[in-house]
Structure 1
């Protein structure tokens, strides 16, 4: 199964229902199941990013009191499975169609790519995974987790 590693807090925003697109400088023709992994390393700027996201989400009316603290976010793990359904080259019009909260949690610039993530499965995770750059094949068997995992975490509509 294909996987991708993301820095925290962006990896955890997906299973929390706060991120429906992964923004990248490169596109992909791959569509199908995708394991979202959190990078193992943590840097101070990531923690500051998490605090800024929480503050801005609150100002947009998104409930944040139920979100995990920074120290509770998993690192170096597979944390959710999604379906990658589309890879869209960003235009000014497409960016303008996104919610303010979605634009907050990605790098939305004309010419970059927005990977549409759907059918986000809730956590039967975290499962330790050695991440890599780019798309990679996961070296753990997630078949059982896929079969028993509830589907469709609702996304925030802020």
Structure 2
């Protein structure tokens, strides 16, 4: 099965159904089930992460956990499209990027595993 590494808190937001577009500088023709791997790093430093949690809680009603898992599979989605102009009423798409359109998110029990660049294969034994 294919997987993609995404930094936290974005991986958590995706598998919990809040973020349905993943931005990339490259396109893919792959469509289908996609495991979400939380990379080994946060996308923010500790102070910025605290501020982001506060903003998301007050403005969007989303309570992002403080102890986000890093370095493993956290969920699965269906990758249904890859486009420069996705239908994105929530505003997740960054102009100039390819928007990977994600549907049917499912949070899975955390499974530690190293990530890789681009889409990568997860062997049956690793799943």
TM over 0.5: yes
- Superposition CA RMSD, Å: 2.2
In our comparison, the structure showing a higher alpha carbon Rg is 1
Runs of 5+ unmatched residues, structure 2: none
Q: 2:65 aligns with which of 61, 68, 74?
A: 68
The answer to whether the 8 A contact 1:21-1:117 is kept is yes
Query: So what's the TM-score if we normalise by structure 1?
Result: 0.69
Segments of 4+ in structure 1 off by > 4 A? none
The answer to whether the 8 A contact 2:16-2:106 is kept is no
Query: So what's the TM-score if we normalise by structure 2?
Result: 0.84
Hey, which of these two has a bigger chunk of helix by percent?
Answer: 1
Aligned length: 126
Are 1:128 and 2:117 matched, yes or no?
no
1:32-71 → structure 2 map (5 Å cutoff): 32-42=32-42, 45-64=44-63, 67-69=64-66
Runs of 5+ unmatched residues, structure 1: 143-158
1:73-112 → structure 2 map (5 Å cutoff): 73-90=68-85, 97-99=88-90, 102-103=91-92, 108-109=94-95, 111-112=96-97
What is the CA–CA distance in structure 2 between the aligned matches of 1:41 and 1:127, rounded to whole Å? 16
* 2:99 matched residue in structure 1: 114
The answer to whether the 8 A contact 2:3-2:36 is kept is yes
